[in-house]
Amino acid sequence: MKKIKISPSILSADFSQLGNEIKRLEEAGADMIHVDVMDGHFVPNLTIGPPVIKSLRKYTNLIFDVHLMISPVHKYIKDFADAGANIITIHPEATENLKESINLIRSLNKKVGVSLNPESKIDLIKDILKDIDLVLIMSVHPGFGGQKFIPDVINKIKDLKSIKEKNNLNFDIEVDGGINFENSKSVISAGANILVSGTTIFKSNNGDIKKNIDTLKLS
């Protein structure tokens, strides 16, 4: 069994202190840093883009797990690669040609992630599962931190895990949205090996991020 990794979302961090927040996450044992990029079009919220990611790159050597909620995504992929992303995750609905976008990310020597919204079916990405490194299952509607976990996605995680095993594939299963100390166990036993969390890590236990990361890992 793969070790559970925690990818804290900096969406819940103090945006006036992002560099320090990332250092604090690294010291607290984060395995990677989840960066939520939103365009006010693909999702109804705006966050940060390549210049901010580039300026954060010098604060840590941890993997930047960049979740692109922007459309059309294809023409911006290189900018995120150049800014220092290590994993680039895109939504299939945000590109005209999913295979081309996957190939572009790969050609830039970055890990390829594809994300499924709560209502998106696994069928949408079945053909490309062999070509990617990670599937990001959304357990909330993308756009905002602090939303409630949608329990239906547990079945989707199980189905994806079984497709993965049946076909001897190697991608990571990452789950994003509303993860807390109550649901983390079922998310992991369904087959996830990377948990994204913003609110739980930054706000639980008076913001004791080390305790919160450790507790999620031990789920």
**Which residues of the chain form contacts with ligand DX5 (CB under 6 A)?**
9, 11-12, 34, 36, 67, 140, 142-143, 145-147, 176-179, 196-200
- Give yes or no for residue 91 binding Zn ion (CB under 5 A): no
CA 114/CA 91 separation, integer angstroms: 6
Whether 36 sits among the annotated catalytic residues: the reply is: yes
CB atoms within 10 A of CB 216: 23
Indicate left, alpha or beta for 25 from its phi (over 0: left) and psi (-120 to 50: alpha). Answer: alpha
Residue 140 CB, shortest distance to ligand DX5, in Å, is 6
Q: Check 36, 65, 133, 172 and give the catalytic one.
A: 36
Q: What is the footprint of Zn ion within residues 31-50 (CB under 5 A)?
A: 36
Nearer to ligand DX5 (CB atom), residue 178 or residue 191? 178
Residue 9 CB, shortest distance to Zn ion, in Å, is 6
CA 81/CA 72 separation, integer angstroms: 16
The piece of 29-37, 91-99, 151-159, 205-213 that touches Zn ion (CB under 5 A) is: 29-37
Give the pairing type, strands 194-197 and 5-8: parallel
CA 137/CA 120 separation, integer angstroms: 9
Q: Check 31, 39, 65, 176 and give the catalytic one.
A: 176
Whether 214 sits among the annotated catalytic residues: the reply is: no
Nearer to ligand DX5 (CB atom), residue 9 or residue 219? 9
Q: Which amino acid is it at 211?
A: K
**How buried is residue 168: exposed, middle or buried, by Cβ count under 10 Å (0-12/13-18/19+)?**
exposed
Contact at 8 Å (CB) between 198 and 181? no
Contact at 8 Å (CB) between 56 and 19? yes
- Give yes or no for residue 67 binding Zn ion (CB under 5 A): yes
Contact at 8 Å (CB) between 30 and 62? yes
The piece of 46-54, 63-71, 123-131, 210-218 that touches Zn ion (CB under 5 A) is: 63-71
The piece of 67-75, 102-110, 167-175, 184-192 that touches Zn ion (CB under 5 A) is: 67-75
Instruction: Name the closest residue to Zn ion (Cβ).
Output: 67
Enter the DSSP assignment of 39. B
Residue 154 CB, shortest distance to Zn ion, in Å, is 18
Residues found near Zn ion in the complex (CB under 5 A) = 36, 67, 176
- Report, as residue numbers or ranges, the catalytic residues: 36, 176
